Chains A and B, each alone.
Chain A
């Protein structure tokens, strides 16, 4: 019996998109949290951490409500499409990324940033030329972890993207589906592939993180 590779490709595609969004949004959020003081910072901090601790169905339910509402606003039907899976994965990947990135921005590099400021560099220039290059390994590690997390999202994805084979069925959901149907071969192959992928990603991330300590 041939294994259907579509779920794996979909997962990789979803995870790649989710990671890109997480990195772009996460860098900005991490920078805000690490460098700025503003009203509602605590609230933002809590909101970002929420997807880590909120039960997946709860988060999924919120998303379902929010996306079906906004769909009438933007005229795009997101629910039960693979793009919805991207939203769910992004929400789960962002907290991990923001935490690591923020720690990297806050740790150790302050005096370099100060030096850059006294040399007349704008905040933008300080960020791109000093903060980011100094944190590059930590950021790379955080990106890998975010990708690994996005790759395996299950609960919220199932709720808002559904389980439509060939359309929204990601690898995690395909495994669940296969086990339900007693199709152990597909389950085993996908479990193996996902495990190997995630373990290598986390291993690589840890190695990067280790070598980033003091330069």
Chain B
């Protein structure tokens, strides 16, 4: 297990704005996804753990070892930290073959054990065919597998992955996912995975940290975070597009219901614990949770809003409809296909889909 509490300020320079990182988190065995937009400090966090950037304050513990402690001035050099760091560009040594790269990583083991371990890695990661080739002669996806295999060959106590699927096509992406699932199952080491892809975080992450501008906004299981974002900022980062400023007009814990008003209408939702009547909140609904029916002039039923369709964008498996009032709905393609000429719609907000965030 790894525990980190670090703060680092980077003074502004001519060519870059300043930055301040202040995070505290734990990485237990399994995969922890570090999710955030560009310039959130994700790579800096990894660099701090691996020892390439020195924090101003704080402490980093890996198992029972202190990697960094500002108070007692401990700052282990990268080579003593046992971090298997897969840098963003795989960084396989171009002057060595794949096998030599792995042997280089396994150098701490005695000769026989080293070769046994390297052979095992080559087999496990299906690199037998390319073991004798150099990195520039294999595909990007293969390089990524090799880079991960190399990091594991050095018997690390934590694996740090910086956007391992960046720029990979779907086939190689799923190959990397397969590897990571295997690592989670077979090696009892914590993995910290940096990613900008929320799908990837949900697919791989046992835990997720949401980082923005050097601060952790929320942490927890990916599913939980998607269900209940801690703030409107988190909701935006997760790509939840339906965010409306609303007011809670009624709360009934007994019947587990509530009423929220926004844009002149009232909707019924579930009871929102921790909120009071009259609270101004953000109402947040995922586009997939909304339903639509054509508006034929009848009075809208409860929890239905009349809206006109502004834009339709096709996705691979669904269509995304943008309505007046900044409402977005995502539908399976077939459902929309028969009714695509319709202009006026009723958007239905299922009570269970409503969330409020402050």
Contacts and interface: CB of A to CB of B under 8 A. Distances in A.
Interface string A105-131: 000000110111111111001000110
Given A119-B105, A121-B107, A114 B87 contact: yes
A118 B83 contact: yes
A120 B52 CA distance: 14
Interface in B60-98: 77-85, 87, 89, 91-95
A172 to B, nearest CB: 38
Q: Which of B51, B92, B107 has the most CB of A within 10 A?
A: B107
A125 B79 CA distance: 11
B95 A134 contact: yes
Given A111-B89, A134-B94, A118 B50 contact: yes
B136 A215 contact: yes
Interface residues of A, number: 17
B91 A112 contact: yes
Interface string A156-190: 00000000000000000000000000000000000
Nearest to B160: A118
A125 B108 CA distance: 12
B95 A111 contact: no
B268 to A, nearest CB: 55
A55 interface: no
Given A120-B79, A120-B154, A121-B79, A115 B91 contact: yes
A117 B91 CA distance: 12
B78 A118 contact: yes
A117 B76 CA distance: 12
A121 B50 CA distance: 14
B8 interface: no
Contacts of B153: 119
Interface string B99-110: 000001101100
25 contacts: A111-B87, A111-B89, A112-B93, A114-B78, A114-B87, A116-B93, A117-B77, A117-B78, A118-B50, A118-B79, A118-B81, A118-B84, A118-B85, A119-B79, A119-B105, A119-B107, A119-B150, A119-B151, A119-B153, A119-B154, A120-B80, A120-B105, A134-B93, A134-B95, A215-B95
Enumerate the 5 nearest inter-chain pairs by beta-carbon distance, A residue then B residue, closest first: A115-B91, A117-B78, A118-B85, A119-B105, A111-B91
